[in-house]
Amino acid sequence: MRGKFTLILGNMFAGKTEELIKRLRRAEKHGQKTTLAFKPTKDTRSGTGLLKTAEGDVFPAIDIPKGETFEITKKLKLKEWEIGKKIDVIAFEEVQFFPESIYQTIDYLLSLGYEVIAAGLKLDFKGEPFVSSTSLLGLVETNYDLLLLTSCCSVCGKEAQLPQRLVDGKPAKYNDPVEFVGGAESYQPRCHEHHIVPEKPPYA
Ligand SMILES: [Zn+2]
C-alpha cells in the first residue's frame, strides 16, 4: 500500500521544525513506529546529525552531503539493516535545499509504503518559490496533508510570509551573491509591506 505524505511549507521562524519533530515523536511514542530524519548539508564536513529548532530542541538526523538524493535510499537501507527492522516514517528537513530529484525520491519511497513528512521553506529572500519544496505539492493528496505556516513580521507583528535577508544590517539586493564572504548575514520574517528587495526587476 502507498504511504502517506505530509508537506509542511512556510516561512523562516514559523515553527516548521517544531512541527516536524512533534510528528516524529508522536509516531514513535504513541504509534510505536520507527522514524528516520534526513537533512541536507552544504558540504561533507558541516554535518551535525541533528534537526534543531530555533528554541534549541533537537532530534537525531542523518546528514546528506549536498542533498545527493541517491544517498537517501542507501542510508535508509543501512539503517534498517542496523536496527533489524523496517523504518515506518521518513522525514526531510530543509527540503528546499535538496536537488529537484527529491520529488522522484519521495514518490519512490511512498510507492514502497513508507510514510513521509517533508518540511521546508516555500519562498526565498526574493519572494520567489523554491522549486524543490513547492513542487512537492504534486505529491499531496488532500488539504489535510498540507500545512502552511507563517511567522510574525519583525517590523509590524502581522502575519509574515517572506524571509527578509539582511547583509550587515541592510536588505540584500535581488542579485546579491548567494554566499557572502566576510559579511554578517541574517534573516528576519517580514510581511509583504515590510519585505524589501532592492533592485528587484519590475514585473513585465
Ligand atoms: Zn510588517
Please tell me the predicted confidence (pLDDT) of residue 127: 94
Which residues of the chain does CATH 3.30.60.20 include?
151-204
pLDDT in tens, 99-148: 999 999 999 999 999 999 999 999 999 999 999 999 999 999 999 999 99
Residue ranges of the chain whose pLDDT lies below 70: 43-47, 179, 181-183, 204
Q: Is 94 among the residues known to form the active site?
A: yes
- Domain 151-204: CATH class, spelled out: alpha beta
| 16 Cα–ligand 1 center, Å | 20
| CA 67/CA 65 separation, integer angstroms | 5
Please tell me the predicted confidence (pLDDT) of residue 203: 80
Count of alpha carbons within 13 Å of 78, Cβ hemisphere only?
6
Please tell me the predicted confidence (pLDDT) of residue 178: 73
| 193 Cα–ligand 1 center, Å | 6
Please tell me the predicted confidence (pLDDT) of residue 66: 83
For 18, the grid coordinates are 517544531
Please state the three-class secondary structure of 18-85 as a single string. Answer: HHHHHHHHHHHHCCCCCEEEEEEECCCCCCCCEEECCCCCEEECEEEECCCCHHHHHHHHHHHHHHCC
CATH number attached to the domain at 5-149:
3.40.50.300
Q: What is the pTM of this model?
A: 0.93
